[in-house]
Amino acid sequence: MADELAGLGRSRPSRRLLTAGGVLVVVLGLAALAAPWLTPYDPDAIVVASYHGPLAPGGGHLLGTDTLGRDVWARLVYGARTSLFVGGLAMAVSLAIGMTAGVVAGYFGGVTDAAVMWVVDLFLTMPSLLLLIVLATVLPPSLLTIPLVIGAIGWTTFARTVRGEVLSLRERDYISAARALGAPDRRIILRHLLPGVLPGVVVLAALGMSGAIVVDAGLSYLGLGVPLPTPSWGRMVSDAQTYIAVAPWLMLAPGVAIALAVIGFNLIGYGLIDLIGRRNA
């Protein structure tokens, strides 16, 4: 025990990964919440007196102005709201569908399991981005439908992982004991299985969040994300592409923002994997 603690004290990569990811995510979250205090400008307002192309960074506009004469920094910090909201809701939807499917499949087994896994296979076979594009076009795009669609397509990883963990937990003695005592399925699932599944789910939630942010950015880049004028990082990249020769700085900010958000959540995810693996080892 003492040796273990000493080992943890010497090199704690999991702790460091978690801290780094946590700092990134908290900073992004605070920036999203405090957006009105971080910039005097309205993200949708045209802030230049007369338009002569995008302004370079400096002179009251930290990151310059964009192709329509809007403040880039303002769009970036308000864009954090969009990205985190869409990512968070999409992840929650995936989590809800995937956990339910995984628990049901793993616990009941047999035909139920086969049916659920068949649907999972189906979703893994379909090119997810194409499906997303189709759904995003078919449904009226809004700040709600986009995350719902992303979540409804991305649940398979949750289902597979949760099913796997339930399969191994199901055979444990304490579950058999609960069953022998006559506990109803609902009670066994809610009181005995879910707590065992949770650590893995937390990891997936962090990784799922970064995945959803990337997918949302890709959809926005294709022009199929949350509708205008809501600021979104993906659309900022596609707007910048047209002006890349005259205003390359427009390209830099939104891409770095997406990457930082994704890195933040991935660091948390990997840190947790490391932490859980260490505890079980």
Partner 1 sequence: MIARRLLRALTTLLGTTLIIFILFRVVPADPAVSIAGPKADPETLAAIRKDLGLDDPLPVQYGRYLAGLVRGDLGRSYMTGQRVADVIAVRVPATALLAGVSLTLGFLAGLVVGIATAARRGSTIDVAVLLGTLVGLSLPTFWLGNLLIYEFSYRLKLLPLGGYGTVRHLVLPAATLAIVEFFFYARFVHTNVGGMLNSDYIRTARAKGSPPARVYFVHALRNALIPIVTLLGLDIAALMSGVVLTETVFNWPGLGRLAVQAVFDLDLPLVAGTVLFSAVLVLAANLVVDLVYVVIDPRVRHG
SS3 assignment, position 34: coil
Among 80, 197, 217, 268, binds partner 1 (CB under 8 A): 217
Contact 97, 155 (CB under 8 A): yes
Residue 248, interface with partner 1 (CB under 8 A)?
A: yes
Residue 221, interface with partner 1 (CB under 8 A)?
A: yes
The C-alpha R_g of the chain, in whole angstroms, comes to: 23
Binders of partner 1 among 111-130, rule CB under 8 A?
118-119, 121-122, 124-130
Residue labelled with tokens 């780094």: 20
Q: Please name the residues in contact with 106: beta carbons below 8 A apart, sequence gap of 6 or more.
A: 113, 162, 163, 164, 165, 166, 167, 170
Contact letters (x/-) for partner 1, 260-279, by CB under 8 A?
--xx--xx--x---------
- Binding-site residue total for partner 1 (CB under 8 A)? 44
Q: Please name the residues in contact with 229: beta carbons below 8 A apart, sequence gap of 6 or more.
A: 44
From first CA to last CA, the distance across the chain in angstroms is: 13
Residue 228, interface with partner 1 (CB under 8 A)?
A: no
Smaller CB distance to partner 1: residue 198 or 260?
A: 260
Angle (CA) 77-82-86 rounded to 5° is: 145
Residue 96, interface with partner 1 (CB under 8 A)?
A: no
Residue 183, interface with partner 1 (CB under 8 A)?
A: no
Residue 7, interface with partner 1 (CB under 8 A)?
A: no
- Interface residues with partner 1 (CB under 8 A) are 11, 13, 118-119, 121-122, 124-131, 133-135, 137-138, 210, 214, 217-218, 221-222, 224, 234, 237-238, 240-241, 244-245, 248, 251, 254-255, 258-259, 262-263, 266-267, 270
